[in-house]
Amino acid sequence: MNIHLQLDIARADFDVSVNVQLPAHGITVIYGPSGCGKTTLLRCVAGLEPKARGVVQLGHEVWQDDSQHVRLPTHQRALGYVFQEASLFDHLDVAGNLTYGHQRAERNNRNAMSQAVVQQTIELLGIGHLLKRRSHELSGGERQRVAIARALVTQPRLLLLDEPLAALDHARKQEVLPWLEKLRDDLNIPMLYVTHAVDEVARLADTLVVMNQGRVQANGPVAEVLTQTDLPVVVGEDAGALLTGIVLNIDTQWHLAQVGFAGGALWVRDSGLSVGQTVRLRVLARDVSVTLQQATHTSIQNHVPCVVDAITPESHPSQMLLRLRCGDSVLLARVTARGVHELGLQVGMPAWAQVKSVALVK
Amino acid sequence: MYLSAEDFQAISLTLQLASVTTVLLLLLATPVAWWLAHTRSVWRAPVASLVALPLVLPPTVLGFYLLVALGPNGPIGQLTQWAGWGTLAFSFWGLVLGSVVYSLPFAVQPLVNAFEAMGPRPMEVAATLRASQWDAFFTVAVPLAKPGFVMAAMLSFAHTVGEFGVVLMIGGNIPDTTRVVSTQIYGHVEAMEYSQAHGLAGVMLVFSFVVLLGLSWFNHRSDQHKKVGA
């Protein structure tokens, strides 16, 4: 099953025009700079932009198809929407906010949704102790968790999240992120997640859509899109690869854990990992260098055999971005142009990637 | 200082007039204010000015036009005659109509402010929670705009109690039908009955002060609440 979005809407600065097929599972992150039209796109999916024209289709369920004069109003689309500011209803307490959507969804569907859904959601987001509170008696993180729960108890077929963490400070962000990961892993609801923060992409995305100036620049599995060296999102300080792997070994003496991924293995800091656990690793391009032979006398622990896949000049003439294929995975390396010249690196050459540092994103 | 039976009659009539006017005004002002708060139409400014007109127009001018309109040859007069109600000039319902027009800005403006302060977000949130427009209006917009409704009701009521010029023009000063407190005071003064005028005037003074005090307490309270919520 797919989500098909084909939408056009005119804005004062530029037109947003999008045509994408997205998987109807996991988290699809819509990423791009501020004002690139990603929030507008999300609002179009929800039917909140009356001027949007096109198609919004979820599997066989058509929410909008202007060529067929089909256009369900927002309240008839089985979606959940989490806004940037939690936007809880001030005149209701937390329980009232949750019941508001639940009752109406039940009425519209004409089938009794069990109260158990509400109870499960309250437990899933850990808000049981907040039910009698009003919006102004909650912290920013709590408010956002309630807003997510409120969207979920309507049992949506699609969950839309518009920068749900942007209004929170770092500590509150770290408080909400694990709950979002839990939703992704525990629930079978596809999510469209808008953000301009790379760390949220690394941590949450299964699929990544990159937007700029109202257009989609790339769309695909997150690990692939993040290593497309011709994308502006990839180039820059945050350029780096994302690997998904499984913990193979724990070295208790040196507090390291070995994570195997499709194409090799890396030692990472052991922060309480257990063997068999699935983890995500972020390897920044600036932390990867290249040697032709496996280096021996070096403090760097991680050496991965690879093949040079692409060599791209960077904005500064001294720098080059290398795409390295390691088995089924891809790493990026930022190196100097002189280094590339001295090693005689060319596309197709075998080499070794030396990884100085790996960040565990989950 | 004592109040005569006529004085009490005038007070009772004033309260009836103000109550009926307030109820009608809230019903009329709510859709007008909602439209003014949300429309981007070119008609917004003209309609807003029209609604605010009673603020600046001398009550006698307003009363004069209403008198003409309500009279046997006026458009409203012809309509009411056609409907079999006779003419409304010099009747209680004529006063109600005049009061509604006269106090309209006092009901519309607080509601426009309340709806604008609310912004479009709560209605959007309600729509994503499966509420239709009407449902969302009554279950989200009205409760959130409650301070605006309270303010509109209090101002409409108080302003109607205090009107004089319009009442005099279209109501005359008929005991038990159109003689309200303000025209009764006027009558007392004309008749040199200063002690009776004092009595009624004192009642009005206390009433007005209490309304304003109540409003300021209410505003203070809802401001406090907003600060905590922000």
Q: Does A14 touch chain B (CB under 8 A)?
A: no
- Indicate yes or no: CB of A75 within 8 angstroms of CB of B130: yes
Q: Does A362 touch chain B (CB under 8 A)?
A: no
Does the pLDDT of residue A270 top 60, yes or no?
yes
pLDDT band at residue B224 under the 50/70/90 scheme: low
Does the pLDDT of residue A253 top 60, yes or no?
yes
Does the pLDDT of residue A83 top 90, yes or no?
yes
Kind and range of the H or E run holding A332: strand A329-336
Prediction pTM value? 0.86
Please state, in angstroms and rounded to a whole number, the distance separating the CA atoms of residues B150 and B185.
29
SS3 B72: coil
Contacts of B56 by beta carbon, 8 Å cutoff, 6+ apart: none
Q: What average pLDDT does this structure show over B156-171?
A: 90
Does the pLDDT of residue A198 top 90, yes or no?
no
Q: What average pLDDT does this structure show over A175-197?
A: 89
Q: What average pLDDT does this structure show over A118-133?
A: 91
Q: Which amino acid is at A171?
A: A
- CA dihedral (B193, B194, B199, B205) positive or negative: positive
Please state, in angstroms and rounded to a whole number, the distance separating the CA atoms of residues A229 and A166.
27
Does the pLDDT of residue A207 top 70, yes or no?
yes
Residue among A134, A135, A150 whose CB faces B129 most closely: A150
Q: What average pLDDT does this structure show over A214-229?
A: 91
Residues of chain B positioned with their CB less than 8 A from the CB of A85: 121
Does the pLDDT of residue A225 top 60, yes or no?
yes
Helices A140-152, A170-186: axis angle to 10 degrees equals: 20
Q: Out of A341-345, B3-7, B40-44, pick the least confident.
A: B3-7
The string of pLDDT tens digits covering residues A104-119 is 988 877 555 567 888 8
What is the pLDDT, as a whole number, of residue A331? 93
Does the pLDDT of residue B1 top 70, yes or no?
no
Q: How many angstroms away from the CA of A203 is the closest CA of chain B?
A: 27
What is the pLDDT, as a whole number, of residue B229? 41
Which 8-state DSSP code applies to residue A11?
-
What is the pLDDT, as a whole number, of residue A232? 67
Q: What average pLDDT does this structure show over B186-207?
A: 91
Q: How many angstroms away from the CA of B227 is the closest CA of chain A?
A: 9
Domains of chain A: 2-226 (3.40.50.300), 240-360 (2.40.50.100)
10 Å CB burial of residue A118 (0-12, 13-18, 19+) is: middle
Residues of chain A positioned with their CB less than 8 A from the CB of B222: none
- Indicate yes or no: CB of B131 within 8 angstroms of CB of A80: no
* Size of the A and B interface in Cβ pairs below 8 Å: 68
What is the pLDDT, as a whole number, of residue B225? 61
Q: How many angstroms away from the CA of A108 is the closest CA of chain B?
A: 8
String of DSSP letters for B83-147: TT----TTSHHHHHHHHHHHHHHHHHHHHHHHHHHH-SHHHHHHHHTT--HHHHIIIIIHHHTHH
Question: In degrees to the nearest 10, what's the CA dihedral of A264, A269, A275, A278?
Answer: -70
Residues of chain B positioned with their CB less than 8 A from the CB of A134: 229
Q: What average pLDDT does this structure show over A201-229?
A: 91
Residue among B128, B136, B228 whose CB faces A79 most closely: B128
For residue B142, give the chain A residue with the closest CA.
A91
pLDDT band at residue B175 under the 50/70/90 scheme: confident
What is the pLDDT, as a whole number, of residue B228? 44
Residue among A90, A108, A135 whose CB faces B130 most closely: A108
Please state, in angstroms and rounded to a whole number, the distance separating the CA atoms of residues A242 and A285.
11
Q: Does A136 touch chain B (CB under 8 A)?
A: yes
Q: Is the ipTM of this complex over 0.90?
A: no
CB distance A329 to A223 below 8 Å = yes
Both tokens of B143, joined, read: 């409760």
What is the pLDDT, as a whole number, of residue A114? 66
Does the pLDDT of residue B230 top 70, yes or no?
no
- Indicate yes or no: CB of A105 within 8 angstroms of CB of B132: no
The string of pLDDT tens digits covering residues B8-50 is 999 999 999 999 999 999 999 999 999 999 999 999 999 999 9
Of A208, A267, A241, the closest CA to residue A333 belongs to: A241
What is the pLDDT, as a whole number, of residue A68? 93
Domains of chain B: 10-179 (1.10.3720.10)
Per cent of chain B over pLDDT 90 is 68
Mean pLDDT of the residues in chain A: 90
Residue among A75, A87, A90 whose CB faces B229 most closely: A90
Q: What average pLDDT does this structure show over B78-94?
A: 88
Per cent of chain B over pLDDT 70 is 97
What is the pLDDT, as a whole number, of residue A234? 63
Residue among A74, A105, A107 whose CB faces B127 most closely: A74
Does the pLDDT of residue A294 top 90, yes or no?
no
What is the pLDDT, as a whole number, of residue A92? 95
Residue among B130, B143, B228 whose CB faces A136 most closely: B228
- Indicate yes or no: CB of B130 within 8 angstroms of CB of A83: no
**Where on the phi/psi map is residue A33: left (φ > 0), alpha (ψ -120 to 50), or beta?**
beta
Does the pLDDT of residue A182 top 90, yes or no?
no
What is the pLDDT, as a whole number, of residue B226? 56
For residue A79, give the chain B residue with the closest CA.
B128
